[in-house]
Amino acid sequence: MTAPDTGGGQLRVGVLGAGMISTITYGYLPNLHKIRDRVAITAIADVDVARAQSVADTCGIGTAVASLDALLNLDLDAVVNLLPGPAHFETSMRILESGRHLVTEKPITGTLAEADRLLDLADRRGLLVVAAPADMLANEWIRARDLIASNAIGKVAFARVQSSHAGAAGLSWPVNPSGFYQRGVGALLDLGVYGITQATGVLGPVQRVSAMSGITVPVRRARGGPFDGLEIPVTAPDNNLLLLDFGEATFAVVDGTYNVVASRAPRMEIYGLEGTLLVNRPDEPAPPVDVYRLDAAPGVAGWVTPRTYEIFPVGSDRFAELQRGALIEHLADCIRDGKQPVASGRHARHVLEIMLAAEQSAIEGRVIDVSSTF
Ligand SMILES: NC(=O)c1ccc[n+]([C@@H]2O[C@H](COP(=O)([O-])OP(=O)(O)OC[C@H]3O[C@@H](n4cnc5c(N)ncnc54)[C@H](O)[C@@H]3O)[C@@H](O)[C@H]2O)c1
Q: Which domain CATH number covers 71?
A: 3.40.50.720
In short, whether 167's Cβ falls inside 6 Å of ligand 1 is no
pTM to 2 decimal places: 0.95
Task: State the average pLDDT for the chain.
Answer: 95
Cβ(50) to ligand 1 under 6 A? no
In a domain, 145, yes or no: no
Q: Are residues 79 and 186 in the same domain?
A: no
Distance from chain centroid for Cα 373: 17
Give the residue, out of 25, 28, 82, with the most ligand 1 atoms within 8 A of its beta carbon, to mutate for a pocket test. Answer: 82
**Quick check: 345 and 108 in contact, CB under 8 A?**
yes
Same domain? 173 vs 124: no
**Mean pLDDT, residues 86-106:** 97
Q: Which residues contact 148 (CB under 8 A, 6 or more apart)?
A: 156, 202, 203, 270, 272, 277
Same domain, 215 and 359: yes
Number of domains in the chain: 2
Q: Are residues 244 and 193 in the same domain?
A: yes
Instruction: Clarify whether residues 337 and 355 are in a common domain.
Output: no
In a domain, 304, yes or no: no
Residue 356 inside a domain? The answer is yes
Domain holding 338, by residue range, is 11-134+324-342
CB of 211 within 6 A of ligand 1: the answer is: no
pLDDT of residue 96: 98
pLDDT-derived band at 4, boundaries 50, 70, 90: low
Q: Is the CB of 94 under 6 A from ligand 1?
A: no
The pLDDT tens digits of the residues spanning 290-304 come to 999 999 999 999 999
Res 2: pLDDT: 45
Residue 102, H or E segment: strand 101-104
Q: Which pLDDT score, from 0 to 100, does residue 9 have? A: 80
Question: pLDDT value at position 183?
Answer: 87
**Confidence band (pLDDT; 50, 70, 90) for 255?**
very high
| pLDDT surpasses 50 at 1 | no
Atom 33 of ligand 1 has which residue's CA nearest to it? 46
Q: What percent of the chain has pLDDT over 70?
A: 97
Does 130 lie in the same domain as 44?
Answer: yes
Residue 296 lies in a domain: no
Sign of CA dihedral 164, 240, 161, 201: negative
The arrangement of strands across the sheet holding 101-104 comes to: 63-65, 39-45, 11-16, 78-81, 101-104, 129-131
Q: Is the CB of 82 under 6 A from ligand 1?
A: yes
Shared domain for 125 and 189, answered yes or no, is no
What are the backbone angles phi and psi of residue 231, rounded to the nearest 5°? -85, 130
Q: Which of 321, 52, 145 is nearest to 329 (CA)?
A: 321
> pLDDT value at position 3?
47
Residues 6+ away with beta carbon under 8 Å from 268: 144, 159, 160, 161, 162, 195, 198, 199, 202, 277, 278, 279
Nearest CA, atom 2, ligand 1: 21
122 and 109 Cβ atoms separated by less than 8 Å: no
Q: What is the CATH number of the domain that holds 221?
A: 3.30.360.10
Omega of the bond prior to 133 within 30 degrees of 0, cis? yes
Q: Do 338 and 360 lie in a common domain? A: no
Cis peptide bond N-terminal to 107, omega within 30: yes
Q: Are residues 128 and 183 in the same domain?
A: no
Same domain, 177 and 104: no
CB-CB contact of 231 with 237 (8 Å) = no
Does 140 reside within a domain?
A: no
Q: Which of 9-13, 117-121, 219-223, 341-345 has the lowest mean pLDDT?
A: 9-13
Are residues 331 and 362 both part of a single domain? no
* Contact between 16 and 70 (Cβ < 8 Å): no
Centroid of ligand 1 to alpha carbon of 20 (angstroms): 6
For ligand 1, atom 42, name the residue with the nearest CA.
84
How many whole angstroms separate alpha carbon 151 and alpha carbon 166? 35
Report whether pLDDT(85) > 50.
Answer: yes
